[in-house]
Amino acid sequence: MLIGIIGAPNKGKSTLFSAITSNNVDIADYPFTTIDPNRGIGYVTHKCPEIELGIKCKARNSLCSNGTRKIPINIIDVAGLVENAHAGKGMGNQFLNDLSSSDAYIIVVDVSGKTDMNGNAAINADPFNDYNMVMNELIEWLSGIIKKHMRVMSRSENAAVALSEVLTGFKINKKNIEDTINELSLTKSKINWNDDEIKNFSKLIIKISKPIVIAANKCDSEGADKRIESLRERLPNIPIFECSAAIELALIKADASKLIEYIPGNSNFNIIESVNFEKMNALAFMQKFISRNNGTGVHALLNGLVFNVLKEIVVYPVEDENKFTDNFGNVLPDAILVKNGSTAIDLARIIHTELANKMLYAIDARKKMRISKEQILQDNQIVKIVSAAK
């Protein structure tokens, strides 16, 4: 899974990326601080079955601490987009193309009101313009790619097949394309769509295939509450997560420096070293903020996107359904994210193609009960795949 962080310059994208991944990246208040895309690993958290089962897991593809499994997610942060980036302004299509393989987007907006939609200093700027500009650029970017291939696609009897070949690198599948064409009542064969039809298709296919959430960043600023409220009123169908990436990053750094003990996502921390008056005031401000907001919002943002918006669940494949281990005796070694509604054979395909091709059935390890290949999996289910594959 790959999550793309996008937005105009100076909205706090790179700060958010660092807060999510704990990576050190260039962070500054001028456009295009990020030239090459930043890539890193963030973690969503989920309750590990170890406590319920009274055993100690030995995580292999993830981390586990005190019954909380941390599951890795790939994150990419690209340079700030500006108006007309799709036409080459700023860093242009180079960075839009970096986003093509993302499964979902986090659009970062500045709810402090201190930067306009292009990242320039402003007074009482509207964060809705941040969102609107980014969406327009995404739509124009994809529209341009489709227009470029329209002549070739006009020869195909099947528009969905032709488009899926053009969009193969964008993680946009044939079903998404068919659903979009049907919803918009577009021509399905030898297509020669006009500009409006292409734009409408691009807008809807992004909505269907690239789920979007908004990070309402800098929410610790004065007046942020009113701007967030206005944003929610105008975008009722877009999940909006209030966050302060700067506070999260400051707490992570203070923890790394042994000034405090802080677990990302928590609503409190412990001061473990004497600090001067200035630092004490800063820590007091941050403690008040995370207590009032149940954290900085950064952890809730990633968890909310993966589990609530993308609707992923966590399953644990094992080889020994009695001991909950793999072939090497590792207890609950892998926590695997799958789409809600996935079946046992879907899980087998994720593990190995041959395993799925020769799959016989599965076993619910908790219940010690045989289940079919088409059985829909449940969140936190522990499953053994039984296959004729060696």
pLDDT in tens, 279-314: 899 999 999 999 999 999 999 999 999 999 999 999
CATH of residue 208: 1.10.8.470
For residue 93, the model assigns a pLDDT of: 52
pLDDT at 26 over 60: no
Residues 97 and 122 in one domain: yes
Q: Looking at the chain, how many residues does it have?
A: 390
For residue 274, the model assigns a pLDDT of: 84
Residue 329's SS3 state is coil
Residues 77 and 219 in one domain: yes
For residue 242, tell me if it sits in a domain.
Answer: no
98 pLDDT band (50/70/90 cuts)?
confident
For residue 346, tell me if it sits in a domain.
Answer: yes
Domain termination site, one of 290, 307, 324: 307
Domain termination site, one of 259, 282, 307: 307
Quote the number of domains for the chain.
3
Strand residues in 66-225 grouped as ranges (E): 68-77, 104-110, 212-217
| Structural domain of 344 | 309-387
Domain termination site, one of 307, 324, 341: 307
For residue 241, tell me if it sits in a domain.
Answer: no
Residues 192 and 316 in one domain: no
For residue 291, tell me if it sits in a domain.
Answer: yes
Dihedrals phi, psi of 285, to nearest 5 degrees: -60, -45
For residue 20, tell me if it sits in a domain.
Answer: yes
Residues 97 and 36 in one domain: yes
92 pLDDT band (50/70/90 cuts)?
very low
For residue 16, tell me if it sits in a domain.
Answer: yes
Report the alpha-carbon distance of residue 3 to residue 273 in Å, rounded: 36
For residue 91, the model assigns a pLDDT of: 46
Residues 375 and 276 in one domain: no
Residues 145 and 82 in one domain: yes
Residues 297 and 318 in one domain: no
Residues 129 and 272 in one domain: no
Q: Which of 118, 293, 117, 102 is nearest to 213 (CA)?
A: 102
**Residue with more model confidence, 254 or 91:** 254
CATH of residue 341: 3.10.20.30
For residue 168, the model assigns a pLDDT of: 83
Report the alpha-carbon distance of residue 43 to residue 64 in Å, rounded: 11
For residue 319, tell me if it sits in a domain.
Answer: yes
Q: Please provide the DSSP assignment of 264-300 as one string.
A: TT-S--EE-S---HHHHHHHHHHHHHHHHHTS-SHHH
Residues 334 and 301 in one domain: no
Residues 139-164: tens digit of each pLDDT: 998 999 899 999 999 999 999 999 99
- Name the packing angle between helices 245-256 and 277-293 (round to 10°): 120
For residue 66, the model assigns a pLDDT of: 87
Report the alpha-carbon distance of residue 246 to residue 332 in Å, rounded: 35
Residues 284 and 313 in one domain: no
pLDDT at 29 over 50: no
Residues 59 and 155 in one domain: yes
Tokens representing 100 are 């093509």
pLDDT at 108 over 50: yes
**Residue with more model confidence, 390 or 143:** 143
Tokens representing 374 are 């088409």
